[in-house]
Amino acid sequence: GQNIDQPTEMTATEGAIVQINCTYQTSGFNGLFWYQQHAGEAPTFLSYNVLDGLEEKGRFSSFLSRSKGYSYLLLKELQMKDSASYLCAVRDTGGFKTIFGAGTRLFVKA
């Protein structure tokens, strides 16, 4: 079967750092994505990992360990506008199916 787990909700303070974890069990693997989705809007692409290690892009970084079926998204210098849902998604081996987790709702407080 295929399963992607993320915490349901997290709260953090403006200016702080937050780490959103994702564990996955899928029949195949051809990359892991993180998307941001503000309430009432479509998801937007944040990051992509296919090899183990850390990918950094501005205030956002994403890490992958394929042997552990584990990824995290790290958000630094949190801003109020970062309040959103963060979706972890895994693409299967053939590249024809990308499965999403239920998402983590992040609340950033002043």
Partner 1 sequence: DAGVTQSPTHLIKTRGQHVTLRCSPISGHKSVSWYQQVLGQGPQFIFQYYEKEERGRGNFPDRFSARQFPNYSSELNVNALLLGDSALYLCASSLETGTSRGYTFGSGTRLTVV
Which residues contact partner 1 (rule: CB under 8 A)? Answer: 4, 30-31, 33, 35, 41-46, 48, 50, 87, 89, 91-92, 94-103
In angstroms, give the least distance from the CB of 28 to partner 1: 12
Name the phi and psi angles at 45, rounded to 5: -65, 130
Q: 86 and 104 in contact (C-beta within 8 Å)?
A: yes
How far apart CA 35 and CA 62 sit, in angstroms, is 11
Choose between 32 and 78: whose C-beta lies nearer to partner 1.
32
Choose between 96 and 110: whose C-beta lies nearer to partner 1.
96
Choose between 18 and 89: whose C-beta lies nearer to partner 1.
89
- From the CA atom positions of the chain, what is the Rg in Å? 13
